[in-house]
Structure 1
Amino acid sequence: MRTQFTNELVALTADLTQMCRITHEAADRMTDALVGADLTATYEVFALDERLQTMYGACEARTVVLLALQAPVARDLRHVVTAIQIAGELSRIGHLFSLVADQVYRSHPEPIAAPATLDLLGGMSGLAAAATGRAERAVTTGRYSGDDDGGPAAMHALNQKLRAALATTDDTTENAIALALIGYQLTCTLEHTDRIERLIHFLDTGIPPTAQIAPEDEAAG
């Protein structure tokens, strides 16, 4: 029975690692789609998100079986519960990327925004891709570095610039709202990747995500 549980846990971890790789790939393709009005990349984001949602369903089913039939305790229970939470965060990130890609699809063959605004969105998309890369490393290594590389602050700054640009744009109100929504969706990505890294730290140390000190708070202290 214990051997079966261990094998299932290994398989669950492997699925999470694969989901992380797919999410990171989706982030890269989303950036290509957004910056280059690339319809092929847009379709690839849709396909990658579909794979993520399918894998999330499989992970959810696997964890239900593990919890119901194996009755894990202590660290094993923490591992199972953390795994399904991470899978859920990856699923949400994939959905956000798909929403961004959908806006690119609607605008094609025209770029989604004017060059100056597109530069801001491209920078935000690049930060989202970097964040998914950090989350992938955390899941793969089982360690949370605690270093955000300034990503959240940079994302916030770009989002502020985007809002200022949209407030003075000659574009239609509908398009301005759509672009502001993209900025919001890209910003939300970092919230989900931060949650993933904190869950990995919880798995490693037992410190709940809500009790962990953010790097900027630790520096201030």
Structure 2
Amino acid sequence: MPTTAAMTGLTVSSLGRATGRVGPPSRRTADGRVLAAQSSPACRTVFTRRCQGGPRGPHRDGPETTGSWPRAPTTSTTKGPVDPMRSLFHEELETLSDELVELSRLSARALERATRALLGADLELAEQVISEDEQIDALRRDLDNRAIDAIARQQPVATDLRQLVTTLRMSADLERCGDLARHVAKLARLRYPVCAVSGELTDVFAQMSEHAQAMCLRSGEIVSAQDASGAAELQQQDDTMDRLHREVFRILLEPEWDGGTQAAIDATLLSRYYERFADHAVSVAIRVVYLVTGVWMDEQEAASRDHLGGGGVPRAGI
């Protein structure tokens, strides 16, 4: 009796050609029966895999796995080239930060020299402080021009924009510190050859100058490191300056004061100069908090008080 393959007219080879699959060759006997030829183990393995839906070709990377397709090659995740314009922009931001640090150093140095001229009645030193204030003004103008140019060219957002905006404010604070040092030098020149400060006030103003210089230098370090925690440190130091400021008025209001009206007015102005110098240093640090966090320090304090149920009105900015 003819086999099923003979009745249908299909052989394993013809079935493979019809379906696109490759099978082992077949042969026919003398009485017309179709017999499948014995194939090698390798042929049977490939034939079986292909019938099971396996890969349509031999592996080139290693032995085939039954019923599995080769994995797609891993895509490289390396970053593309860095935008040179962005690199230049960030270099410009670093330059602005360095100039702010230099501005703080120059202002602190100006106050130190102005105080020496004040307490020592040194006219020449006072004149130098007054004339060198132009260097501080020129640095501030250059810094502001750079910041405005960067805003116009780069159109920054987020932290970059905050850094440029706060740079403009901080440069104004530090330049004002230089102006206050110049005021001290001008008063020393005005009273020459007499020393504008004498007696118990001499020690008080020496301490105020020392604290103000340290605070100004520290503000530059806070800007360079973008240290948001430095503002609290400077505010504590500012409490010392406020105490010394009140000490000046205590001395002036004592019945034993015999320095006269002119000396009292000079001491009042000088105390105000030193106290405001320190306030501007604190202001710089507070702006660094905004730069790093995006929130003004006074708003953080108000939110903290509300969270604790204390309420209250935020302290006005400096």
Counterpart-to-counterpart distance in 2, 1:112 and 1:14: 36
8 Å contact kept, 1:31–1:126? no
Q: Tell whether 2:276 aligns with 1:192.
A: no
1:40 to partner: Cα distance: 3.9
1:67 match: 151
C-alpha offsets along residues 168-209 of structure 1, whole Å, 9 cap, x if unaligned?
432332331121011011111121111111111222222224
Greater Cα shift, 52-61 or 112-121: 112-121
Partner residue, 1:119: 203
Pairwise CA distance, 1:128: 0.9
- Paired residue for 1:210, among 298, 308, 313? 298
Where does residue 182 of structure 1 map in the other structure?
Answer: 270
Work out the CA distance in 2 between the residues paired with 1:151 and 1:34: 23
CA contact (8 A) 2:118 2:197 kept: no
Could you say what secondary structure the match of 2:234 adopts? coil
Q: Is the 8 A contact 2:159 2:292 kept in 1?
A: no
Measure, in 1, the Cα distance between the counterparts of 2:197 and 2:108: 24
Alignment correspondent of 2:253: 167
Residue in 1 that maps onto 2:121 = 37
Q: Which whole-Å deviations, capped at 9, do the CAs of 1:120-174 have from their partners, x for residues lacking one?
A: 1111111111211211221222214222384222222222221122234323323
Q: Any conservation in 2 of the 1:30–1:100 contact (CA below 8 Å)?
A: yes
Shift of residue 103 of structure 1? Answer: 0.5
Give the unaligned 5+ runs of structure 2.
1-84, 311-318
| TM-score of the superposed pair, with normalisation by structure 2 | 0.63
The one-letter amino acid of 2:153's match is: L
Contact 1:26 1:44 in 2 (8 A): no
- Which structure 1 segments of 5+ residues have no match? none
- How far apart, CA to CA, are the structure 1 residues paired with 2:301 and 2:121? 40
Q: Which amino acid aligns with 1:112?
A: A
- Matched to 2:204, the amino acid is L
Mapped partners of 1:205, 1:149: distance in 2:
18
CA contact (8 A) 1:195 1:209 kept: no
State the alpha-carbon separation in 2 of the partners of residues 71 and 149 from structure 1.
Answer: 34
TM-score (norm: length of structure 1): 0.88
- Shift of the 153–3 alpha-carbon distance from structure 1 to 2, 3 Å rule, reads closer
Contact 2:119 2:197 in 1 (8 A): no
Shift in alpha-carbon separation, 1:213–1:26, aligned structure 2, 3 A: farther
C-alpha distance in structure 2 between counterparts of 1:187 and 1:114, whole Å: 19
Structure with the bigger percentage of helix: 1
- Percentage identity across paired residues of the two chains: 28
**Could you tell me whether the CA contact under 8 Å between 2:238 and 2:282 is conserved in 1?**
no
How many pairs does the alignment contain?
A: 217
Of 146-155 and 121-130, the range deviating more from structure 2 = 146-155
1:130 paired to 2:218: no
User: What do you get for the CA RMSD once the two structures are aligned?
Assistant: 2.3
Higher RCO (C-alpha under 8 Å, 6+ residues apart): 1
